[in-house]
Structure 1
């Protein structure tokens, strides 16, 4: 019996001890959970304090208005407004976009919508027409300045790839059309075009800047061009430094190589004053007198009346190239002021403008005289860079033309 009571006492004590252990465990668990809640609460308070103290960051893309392009231009602009601002009608702009689509088509991404092709072309055309800064174009078209820069260069390089389509030496019926056009409009027979140079102002490069300093007192690159009777470009050569002589540019051009090898024009001649006159280009006295290049007499004060008449007739026909340069700079006014880009990119801008000049002419976008404001296409002041002894055959052709014009009444 005593043993049993001892067992009960021992059992009760065991329960008490067991219950005491459970109570301590529960208290420990509760305490741990409470500490965890406090820690989480402190972390939340700290994060809220940091967020409150940290200034709000700007959003990664600043919202810009698309209203002007999407609504005003595309929906309300008339043809006259398109010509005024973009230097071409809407129909011509659509033709240009169609030509560039294979070169500029892009795909949408999940990060951001790409700028539509029409807007990218419009940005570049507006830049060429006005020479506006990237900041101005950014606000106008509602896109970032970096995007404006990319649009201009992508479109200009793409337009330059179209050069072979819009600017090429004529052959066959097209060549005969030009010859007939010079004779009918300007009274000069056997003429296939007029050649001259124009200086395009540029920023002086960091190296060899003196090479680009021209005789007009500014930095430039040279555009050599051949134009037809309608002042459309049929051959261009862009990029020579402004200090280089006109005749040197010609001698180092593909045009000169073709002419000297006999591949420039077919050997078609016309008998004038008992002399076989070949097809030829017209140039000013800065160029050499060649079988395929007719130039005027140097006015040394001793020219005869017939020679002065010849010079006048030649200058009148050569006015087509001066007219082309004037229209080029009047329509694409980025060429009027300094082309403020890397010197390696400047020829792309000039070539692009020449392509667009022909595109507008082919699509009937007439040049507006108001665009000639501030355009001063000066006559070349280069001195002759040729030997004094003239080749016999070209001199005989020129003399035949002198006699031919002397028999006509201007």
Structure 2
């Protein structure tokens, strides 16, 4: 408490003293030059070396197919279709993410189900940026690609085909995976389960 009172008394004394310079007003401060971003205060160093040097330069179509479920040519074609929607301006605080990188974030997440943190580090961005970009890409795919790629050529013919298969008033189906369901296999009497012990 004493220290606070002493500090306040010193500040009051300094405010009441006349200015040290009796030459007149202080000269104006020089105007600053062009502002440089100070992103070093709030960002950490990240590297996208793996994406730039390994994936884009060395992966063949087989690796693209295995990791992203599409070939490199298809990836670039989708980038061309989505470029008008996903292209962003460089703000000056940090370099803009290329359309290719934005698209691969979403494709990688959908294909591999890795965490935002892990994939963000792999591609050299933060996890919040990664999550935001994924939402932007999914929105762009819904707005641009779905209308371009998913459509029925002849609705009447599709309905007639399903009616022949005894599915009236149906004109399409999504997926063809059958997951068998049935009773659980018999469990031997000497096996303990969580329900048995509770």
Structure-1-length-normalised TM-score: 0.32
CA distance in 1 between counterparts of 2:60 and 2:142 reads 28
Task: Name the one with the larger strand percent.
Answer: 1
- Aligned-pair CA distance for 1:293: 5.3
| Residue 279, structure 1, aligned to residue 179, structure 2 | no
1:72 and 2:54 are equivalent in the alignment: yes
Q: What residue number does 2:179 align with?
A: 378
Q: How does 1:280-295 map to 2 (within 5 A)?
A: 280-281=161-162, 290=168, 292=169
SS in 2 for 1:280: helix
> Is 2:146 the counterpart of 1:265?
no
Between the two proteins, the alignment pairs up a number of residues equal to 143
Q: What residue number does 2:140 align with? A: 158
Larger radius of gyration: 1
| 1:163-202 matched pairs, under 5 angstroms | 163-171=146-154
Quickly say closer, same or farther: Cα 1:120–1:265, change in 2 above 3 A: same
Contact 1:283-1:293 at 8 Å conserved across structures:
no
Distance 1:282 1:79 in 2: 40
Alignment correspondent of 2:82:
100
Residue 207 of structure 1: aligned partner: none
Segments of 5+ residues of structure 1 without an aligned counterpart are 1-34, 37-57, 172-263, 267-277, 295-319, 327-376, 382-410
Q: Distance in 2 between matches of 1:87 and 1:279?
A: 33
Relative to 1, partners in 2 of residues 1:77 and 1:321: Cα closer, same or farther, differing over 3 Å? same
Q: Is it true that 1:87 corresponds to 2:56 in the alignment? A: no
**How far did 1:284 drift?**
8.1
- What does the per-residue CA deviation read over 1:220-242, in whole Å, with 9 as the maximum and x for residues that have no partner? xxxxxxxxxxxxxxxxxxxxxxx
Partner of 1:125: 107
Shift of 1:139: 1.1
Distance 1:283 1:133 in 2: 45
- TM-superposed deviation, 1:112: 1.5
Instruction: Provide Cα deviations, 1:127-166, integer angstroms capped at 9, x if missing partner.
Output: 1111211011111101011110011110011111121211
CA distance in 1, matches of 2:89, 2:71: 28
CA distance 1:65–1:168, shift in 2 (3 Å): same
Gaps of 5+ in 2: 1-19, 22-39, 183-198
Cα distance in 2, alignment partners of residues 89 and 284 from structure 1: 35
Q: How does 1:219-234 map to 2 (within 5 A)?
A: none
**C-alpha separation in 1, matches of 2:103 and 2:170:** 39
**Aligned-partner Cα distance in 2 for 1:80–1:139:** 24
Contact 1:103 1:158 in 2 (8 A): yes
3-state DSSP class of the match of 2:75?
helix
- Alignment-derived partner of residue 118 in structure 2: 136
Matches within 5 A, 1:322-333: 324-326=175-177
CA distance in 2, matches of 1:84, 1:139: 21
- Quote the RMSD (CA, aligned, Å): 3.1
Partner of 1:306: none
